[in-house]
Structure 1
Amino acid sequence: MATLTHQESATAEHLVVTDGARKTFLAIIITGVVIMVLGILASVLGWGAAEHTEAAGHTAAAANGAAHEGGPIWLKRLIISLWHSNLFFLGVSTVGTVFMAINYVAYAGWSVMVKRIAEALSAWVIPGGVIMLIVFLVGRHDIFHWTHEGIMEKGNANYDAIIAGKSGFLNLPFYVIRMVSYLVIWGAFSWKLRQLSLKEDLLGGTYWFHKSITASALFLVLYAVTSSMSAWDWVMSVDPHWFSTLFGWYVFASWWVSGIAAIALTAIFLKQAGYLRALTSSHLHDLGKLMFGFSIFWTYVWFSQFMLIWYANLPEEAVYFNQRLGGFDGRYTGMFYFNIAINFVFPFLGLMTRDAKRQMIVMKIVAIAILIGHWSDFYLMLMPGTLKGENGFLIEIGVAAIFLGAFLILFTRRLASASLVPVNHPFLDESIHHTT
């Protein structure tokens, strides 16, 4: 690819979101609604072997020890699907801010060409945070067993000694305070770094750059704590009798590699649409290395957690993998192996060579696979502990499509609201001439 001159490098590029693109996003949402409605009807009327009838669902629940709160299965699946997909998109959105912050404190220059993509990812942080809070307040009994009435009261029919022992941490007021704190921190720093970046575009100079570094350093410290705690609260407490000291890293790894894949995929689409003229195969190569490396890191954390639990074979720990590998009549066994194949084997083989990381078509396929794979990873984290053997896919895929369409609308709107090239960034020239 031709190298641009310095004068050309300072030219702003503004994304124009066409009517066709907007119609595509709306079509994704409408398709999601249709699939979701079909899933609800399939659950209620028993269409197809993959979707349970209400009666069969109650039977499976009783056989596997699942406790119903009296609501229909389809409603429980809908609530948990909202939690699942929003959790995934919220994590990917926040990774955009994490990516920016890491590159600021590292004084990295190569990433400047994709910086605005990372900024735009954070467009979902605030709406995603609001949805998460609403879903928890409305549907917490369907998602979290520890929220059931009387479960921490000795002498109550629902009393659970293990959960009662965690009441200092798993109680409603403290939980909501923590949730709001995480979301406020993530939203505030995402907004702050975005504003500093826009002021740098407008006013120039290095003042805004150095303020961004200070804000980024503080954010990374806070995110290191809040990301792990949010993983305990939002995912691990679904299985309140079980815990893993690696779980915070595991969830972060899934979010992080998904966020990198989203950045890479967007960069490729923009480049193919005629934008980001200074983006070269060297930038793709670096994004490919991050996707490759952190797919291996995710697998390392996954294997470390699995191997230690398998080797110790303690019932209170092994139950987590017993549910996912052979439990509930093997309902999750196929996805368990699919999870490893799509999140490790496929990226590992697909991005192993240097040339593969520099080819748009290969990068695009692998990035899409990673995003699908880690959405399914969160499915596997949440569904066995909440739905037991009553899980399905139509409602879940429909809800995911609705979230995807809404996410793309906000994401592209944020991308179009400022130049795709941060014209006054002090490392812009370094990024333009970046080679690997």
Structure 2
Amino acid sequence: MKTHNNFDERFEFTGNAKTYSLVAIVIGVIAIAFGFIAGGDHIQRAYSNLLLMGYFFVCVCTAGVFFSAYNYVAQAGWSASLIRVPQAFAKALPIASVILVLIITAGLLHTHTIEEHGKQEVVPYLYAHWAAHGLTDPSAENYDAIIAGKKGFLNIPFFFGVLVVLLSAYSFFGVKMAQFSEAEDSEGGMINYDRNFKYSCIFLVIFGFTFPIFAFGVIMSLEAHWFSTMFGWYNLAAMHVSGLAIIALVIIYLQRRGYMTWLNENHLHDLGKLIFGFSIFWTYVWFAQFFLTWYANMPEESVYFYKRWEPEYKWWFWLNIVINFVAPLLLLMSRDAKRLSNRVMWVCILLIAGHWLDYYLMIMPGTLGIQRGFGVEEIGIFLGFAGLFTFTVLTKLSKAQSLIPKKHPFLQESLHHHR
């Protein structure tokens, strides 16, 4: 394998990783088919899991754009030699965005009949709390005054407009920044770095103001009577930790395949610090949202947590905080722990599972209601999207002309990074 002195090193996406990712995609397709063929509650479960994983896919890819942007704005040197990995996430974001839009479209158009308050209603499989017919019509039997008060933004045209505009904007900036970075290798000079700096500044302003709106629409509106001003930042923290964990996992995988040999324990240490720090931030927002709701004890707010304290969810509710807070706190607190690739790898795997569970608890009580355990759909669709993410991102990474930005102005600082 080439040494770190060869800056023309390219990643070849072959072997077991490619095979396993394709097998996982097939398993996912079978699980989705099973959900729709089995009928009944299985269809609702399939849609809920598709939304969960579609949202997770978009969030992790967006985290790649976010990571690249704040490192450019901070003029960080340590991350220059690993920037191709989050850029591959960014280049996969348009695909993830299309998939999420298709899932939401299908979930809104596909309807079924349920019994609610002694009468039957026809509702969509996703966003039934606000998208069902008649909820905003005062003359309808199922008129809901709360939803009617929110109809200015909880309506299908506005919802889709915001969704498409935001995902298009995030994808545009992610792809353009990756293109500027790759053009830098062939053109040299500072022009492409300056473009990346400018685009990163613009992206961070747009992203900071709009990502909470994205989370409000896609996830919080599943239970449209409830609201929390902290929910957007709670999702931002979950998105960032998940993205950082997967960036670290991809780098560890590449290094074990003989790539990116210029990266050392100091780069891993800095990634570990970010993972640790934002895990603590996620916990802060999680606790603040939970504690203030519990303390106020207002029925219109506490109903959200009441659902998650039902016996079917309560164990998972507390496991969520154990995995996403206690595990990184105990396993990554020390300096040495962040420099051990095996330790970091297992913490990252724990955090990916933990934040999947976090999203599960955000989505399932509002779509499935009370249900028991995980089924074929949960396991199969998770594997399918894991395979799709792996295949998409590593394919994008393999198309980069080099795994290192050869003419990045801070490359030498990154190559000689030490703590």
TM-score (norm: length of structure 2): 0.92
Equivalent positions of 1:130-169 (< 5 A) are: 130-140=98-108, 141-144=124-127, 145-169=129-153
CA distance in 1, matches of 2:207, 2:26: 35
Q: Does 1:193 align with 2:181?
A: no
Give the equivalent residue in structure 2 for 1:371.
Answer: 352
Q: Secondary structure at the match of 1:332?
A: helix
**2:397 aligned to 415, 428, 431, which one?**
415
TM-score (norm: length of structure 1): 0.89
Instruction: Measure how far apart 1:132 and its partner are.
Output: 1.7
Equivalent positions of 1:6-45 (< 5 A) are: 9=5, 11-34=7-30, 44=38
The 8 Å contact of residues 44 and 125 in structure 2, kept in 1 or not, is answered as yes
CA distance in 1, matches of 2:150, 2:164: 20
CA distance in 2, matches of 1:80, 1:391: 14
Q: Which amino acid aligns with 1:423?
A: K
Equivalent positions of 1:89-238 (< 5 A) are: 89-140=57-108, 141-144=124-127, 145-238=129-222
Instruction: Measure how far apart 1:9 and its partner are.
Output: 4.5
Which runs of no fewer than 5 residues in structure 1 stay unpaired? Answer: 45-70
**1:385 aligned to 350, 356, 366, which one?**
366
Q: Secondary structure at the match of 1:110?
A: coil
CA distance in 1, matches of 2:91, 2:312: 36
Q: Secondary structure at the match of 1:276?
A: coil
The 8 Å contact of residues 312 and 373 in structure 2, kept in 1 or not, is answered as no
Q: Deviations over 1:47-87 (max 9, x none)?
A: xxxxxxxxxxxxxxxxxxxxxxxx72111111111111010
Instruction: Measure how far apart 1:20 and its partner are.
Output: 2.8
Give the equivalent residue in structure 1 for 2:54.
Answer: 86
Q: Which amino acid aligns with 1:143?
A: L
Q: Secondary structure at the match of 1:251?
A: helix
Instruction: Measure how far apart 1:399 and its partner are.
Output: 0.9
Q: Does 1:76 align with 2:44?
A: yes
Q: Does 1:288 align with 2:303?
A: no
CA distance in 1, matches of 2:34, 2:395: 30
Q: Percent identity?
A: 44
The 8 Å contact of residues 201 and 422 in structure 1, kept in 2 or not, is answered as yes
Which runs of no fewer than 5 residues in structure 2 stay unpaired? Answer: 109-123
Equivalent positions of 1:348-367 (< 5 A) are: 348-367=329-348
Give the equivalent residue in structure 1 for 2:412.
Answer: 429
Give the equivalent residue in structure 2 for 1:341.
Answer: 322
CA distance in 2, matches of 1:360, 1:265: 9
Range moving further from structure 2, 18-27 or 287-296: 18-27
Instruction: Measure how far apart 1:301 and its partner are.
Output: 0.2
**1:250 aligned to 207, 213, 234, which one?**
234
Across the aligned residues of Structure 1 and Structure 2, the Cα RMSD in angstroms comes to 1.6
The 8 Å contact of residues 238 and 385 in structure 1, kept in 2 or not, is answered as yes
Range moving further from structure 2, 30-39 or 129-138: 30-39
Q: Deviations over 1:379-422 (max 9, x none)?
A: 10010011101365221221111111111111001111111111
Instruction: Measure how far apart 1:21 and its partner are.
Output: 2.2
Give the equivalent residue in structure 2 for 1:52.
Answer: none
Q: Deviations over 1:224-266 (max 9, x none)?
A: 1221100100011111111001011000000000001111111
Give the equivalent residue in structure 1 for 2:247.
Answer: 263
Instruction: Measure how far apart 1:31 and its partner are.
Output: 3.4
CA distance in 1, matches of 2:196, 2:147: 42
The 8 Å contact of residues 320 and 358 in structure 2, kept in 1 or not, is answered as yes
